């Protein structure tokens, strides 16, 4: 898809529903594939990343079908009964699929090769290779511990206690998933709490899992040689996708938008907390629990935002939402300071440098730090926008969507060099944006 210019928008009005949560979608396919029997999944995010997980699980022996009404039906093969894949597992652009799948297979007697696109092949895998090697799996990776890589699973694997050196839900999940087929108890110590979808959903599928605390750190213990039971999963809307509309409605004057069915898991919904601290008008309607996950409809109305110092402790609960938060900060009154974001430098792109360049090109005042950004807001005035130049997204879906949102309240519009990557996480983004702005 070629470049696209996002211009000053009419108020965003009405109701919309964002796609299913990506983290929960990946896990529902994997865990259903490990259960014995038939699971049904509704609300699955049908983006390219999640479809890569579905394709990989099929190669490992799970039977997965999409029904006409959008429900996915999975007949699982059981923990310990995965088949050796006949060809390389192509993970596309998905770091989550790769790291979780490496964990899943590490305690099975099989070998597997993982490949991915150019962006994924530059992302670090040593963070999962290290603990999985301690459990007995062996790896032949490309230089720097990247894809393509080949793995020999260990059978039986050795249970370990692993203290996470970096706050990463993917590394935690990889170790817990390896523990499913490992005799004994595998433990993960988490100095900083990260998203807990794996723990919630594994418990739902019948795994024996204990979460406790030692010396102020979270400890998760999983009992191996688990028998997972099938279950029906309802996937809540992805807070990472909702974030773009929360910010868009906050900065476009006259907006009054309801985003339905948004997952508000406290380990994920940091963006809502931070936007409220900045003065955003966000109301939670019909709060409820669906499949162990807290959910609500969010009503957001245009409101003046004020710059704040974002607490670095909230970073793990909104790590993917910082690009769009930077946009909100560009329109706020005063200075916003975001630090503790080193992890953003190893995402689909270096999101600190790329967003600094993109926002500067659109007329924002940005100072780049080693671990974050300082942004001087316009006080609600439109950004200039980009004239005669397009913003470089570096094939990163979240950069593309964040700068699209920036364009909605700009004078000259913001041209994004390529909107195709948006399909990896939010295939209906353009359509929903257009619909909300054109609601009579």
CATH number at residue 401: 3.65.10.10
pLDDT tens digits for range 226-250: 999 999 999 999 999 999 999 999 9
Establish whether 170 is an annotated binding residue.
yes
Work out whether the CA dihedral 210, 212, 218, 219 comes out positive or negative.
negative
Rounded distance, CA 269 to CA 126, Å?
Answer: 28
- Please provide the average confidence, as pLDDT, over all residues in the chain: 95
Supply the range of the domain harboring residue 127: 22-156+172-178
In the predicted model, what is the mean pLDDT of residues 293-302? 96
Rounded distance, CA 66 to CA 405, Å?
Answer: 32
Establish whether 276 is an annotated binding residue.
no
Q: Are 115 and 256 in a shared domain?
A: no
Q: Are 16 and 106 in a shared domain?
A: no
Residue 2 has pLDDT above 60, yes or no: yes
What pLDDT shows up at residue 186? Answer: 98
Compute, in degrees rounded to 10, the torsion defined by CA atoms 146, 147, 150, 153.
70
Establish whether 200 is an annotated binding residue.
no
Chain position carrying tokens 């807070």 = 239
* Residue 165 lies inside a defined structural domain of this protein: no
pLDDT tens digits for range 258-277: 999 999 999 899 999 999 99
Confidence at 394, pLDDT banded by 50, 70, 90? very high
What pLDDT shows up at residue 368? Answer: 96
Residue 148 has pLDDT above 90, yes or no: yes
What pLDDT shows up at residue 1? Answer: 57
Residue 388 has pLDDT above 80, yes or no: no
In the predicted model, what is the mean pLDDT of residues 202-231? 96
Rounded distance, CA 404 to CA 4, Å?
Answer: 9
* Residue 48 lies inside a defined structural domain of this protein: yes
CB 52 within 8 A of CB 60: no
Q: Are 115 and 14 in a shared domain?
A: no
Confidence at 282, pLDDT banded by 50, 70, 90? very high
* Residue 188 lies inside a defined structural domain of this protein: no
Residue 281 has pLDDT above 90, yes or no: yes
* Residue 421 lies inside a defined structural domain of this protein: yes
Establish whether 58 is an annotated binding residue.
no
Q: Are 283 and 385 in a shared domain?
A: yes
CB 236 within 8 A of CB 65: no
Confidence at 349, pLDDT banded by 50, 70, 90? confident
Q: Are 9 and 58 in a shared domain?
A: no
Residue 30 has pLDDT above 90, yes or no: yes
What pLDDT shows up at residue 241? Answer: 94
Q: Are 63 and 101 in a shared domain?
A: yes
Residue 360 has pLDDT above 80, yes or no: yes
Please give the radius of gyration of the chain, using alpha carbons only, rounded to the nearest integer: 21
Establish whether 27 is an annotated binding residue.
yes
Residue 439 has pLDDT above 80, yes or no: no
Q: Are 251 and 346 in a shared domain?
A: yes
In the predicted model, what is the mean pLDDT of residues 142-168? 95
Q: How far is CA 117 from CA 49, 177, 359, in A?
A: 11, 24, 27
Rounded distance, CA 279 to CA 352, Å?
Answer: 24
What pLDDT shows up at residue 316? Answer: 85
Q: Are 276 and 316 in a shared domain?
A: yes
Q: Are 64 and 10 in a shared domain?
A: no
* Residue 199 lies inside a defined structural domain of this protein: no
What percentage of the chain has pLDDT greater than the value 90? Answer: 88
Annotated catalytic residue, options 90, 238, 320, 412: 320
Q: Are 110 and 83 in a shared domain?
A: yes
Establish whether 172 is an annotated binding residue.
no
Confidence at 437, pLDDT banded by 50, 70, 90? confident
In the predicted model, what is the mean pLDDT of residues 176-194? 96
Catalogue the E-assigned strands of 197-338.
209-214, 217-223, 232-234, 256-263, 281-290, 293-301, 309-310, 335-338
Confidence at 221, pLDDT banded by 50, 70, 90? very high
What pLDDT shows up at residue 440? Answer: 59
Confidence at 164, pLDDT banded by 50, 70, 90? very high
CB 103 within 8 A of CB 181: no
Q: 10 Å Cβ neighbour count for 289?
A: 9
* Structural domains counted in the chain: 2
**Token output for 138:** 């062996």
Residue 188 has phi, psi (to 5 degrees) of -120, 130
* Residue 104 lies inside a defined structural domain of this protein: yes
User: Rounded to two decimals, what is the model's pTM?
Assistant: 0.81
Rounded distance, CA 123 to CA 141, Å?
Answer: 12
Confidence at 74, pLDDT banded by 50, 70, 90? very high
* Residue 95 lies inside a defined structural domain of this protein: yes
Q: Which of 178, 208, 223 is the last residue of a domain?
A: 178
Establish whether 99 is an annotated binding residue.
no
What pLDDT shows up at residue 294? Answer: 93
Q: Are 350 and 363 in a shared domain?
A: yes
Q: Are 15 and 130 in a shared domain?
A: no
- All residues at 6 or more sequence positions from 60 whose CB lies less than 8 Å from its CB, including other chains: 33, 77, 82, 83, 85, 105
* Residue 340 lies inside a defined structural domain of this protein: yes
Establish whether 255 is an annotated binding residue.
no
Work out whether the CA dihedral 266, 269, 274, 279 comes out positive or negative.
negative
Rounded distance, CA 233 to CA 44, Å?
Answer: 9
What pLDDT shows up at residue 438? Answer: 81
Residue 314 has pLDDT above 60, yes or no: yes
In the predicted model, what is the mean pLDDT of residues 338-343? 93
Q: Is 69 a catalytic residue?
A: no
Establish whether 90 is an annotated binding residue.
no
232-254 in b/e burial notation, b at 16+ Cβ within 10 A? ebbbbbbbbbbbbbbbbbbbbee
- Could you give the strand order of the β-sheet that contains 232-234, starting from the edge strand earlier in sequence? 63-66, 72-77, 36-42, 232-234
Confidence at 220, pLDDT banded by 50, 70, 90? very high
Name the percent of the chain in helix, strand, coil, to the closest 5.
35, 30, 40
Residue 347 has pLDDT above 90, yes or no: no
The separation between CA 359 and the C-alpha centre of its own chain, rounded to angstroms, equals 22
Work out whether the CA dihedral 49, 55, 58, 60 comes out positive or negative.
negative
**What three-state secondary structure class fits 243?**
helix
In the predicted model, what is the mean pLDDT of residues 87-108? 96
Residue 86 has pLDDT above 60, yes or no: yes
């Amino acid at each position: 898809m070629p470049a696209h210019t996002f211009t000053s928008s009419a108020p965003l009005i009405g109701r919309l529903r964002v796609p299913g949560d990506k983290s929960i979608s990946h896990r529902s396919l994997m865990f259903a594939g490990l259960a014995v029997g038939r699971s049904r999944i509704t609300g699955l995010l049908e983006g390219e990343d999640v479809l890569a997980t579905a394709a990989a699980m099929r190669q490992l022996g799970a039977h997965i079908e999409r029904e006409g009404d959008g429900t996915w039906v999975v007949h699982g093969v059981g923990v310990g009964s995965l088949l050796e894949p006949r060809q390389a597992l192509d993970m596309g652009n998905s770091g989550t699929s790769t790291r979780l799948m490496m964990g899943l297979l590490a305690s099975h007697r099989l070998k597997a090769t993982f490949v991915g696109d150019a962006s994924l092949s530059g992302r670090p895998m040593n963070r999962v290779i290290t603990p999985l090697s301690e459990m007995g799996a062996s790896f032949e990776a490309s230089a720097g511990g990247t894809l393509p890589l080949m793995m020999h699973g260990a059978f039986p694997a050795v249970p370990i206690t692993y203290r996470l050196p970096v706050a990463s839900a993917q590394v935690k999940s990889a170790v817990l998933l390896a523990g499913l087929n490992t005799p004994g108890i595998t433990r993960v110590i988490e100095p900083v709490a990260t998203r807990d979808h794996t723990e919630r959903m594994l418990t739902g599928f019948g795994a024996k899992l204990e979460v406790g605390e030692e010396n102020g750190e979270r400890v998760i213990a999983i009992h191996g040689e688990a028998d997972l039971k099938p279950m029906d999963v309802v996937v809540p809307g992805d807070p990472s996708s909702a974030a773009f509309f929360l910010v868009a409605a906050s900065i476009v004057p006259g907006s009054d938008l309801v985003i339905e069915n948004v997952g508000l898991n406290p380990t994920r919904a940091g963006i809502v907390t931070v936007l409220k601290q900045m003065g955003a008008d966000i109301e939670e309607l019909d709060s409820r629990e669906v499949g162990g996950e807290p959910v609500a409809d969010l009503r957001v109305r245009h409101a003046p935002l004020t710059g704040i110092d974002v607490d670095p402790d909230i970073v793990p609960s909104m790590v993917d939402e910082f690009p769009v938060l930077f946009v909100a900060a560009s329109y706020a009154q005063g200075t916003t300071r975001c630090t503790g974001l080193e992890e953003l430098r190893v995402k689909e792109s270096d999101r600190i440098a790329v967003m600094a360049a993109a926002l500067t090109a659109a007329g924002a005042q940005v100072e780049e730090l080693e671990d974050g950004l300082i942004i001087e807001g316009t006080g609600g005035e439109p950004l200039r926008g980009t004239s005669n130049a397009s913003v470089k997204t570096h094939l990163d879906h979240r950069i593309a969507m964040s700068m699209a949102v920036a364009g909605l309240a700009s004078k000259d519009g913001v041209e994004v060099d390529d909107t195709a990557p948006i399909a990896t996480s939010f295939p209906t983004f353009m359509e929903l944006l257009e619909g909300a702005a054109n609601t009579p």
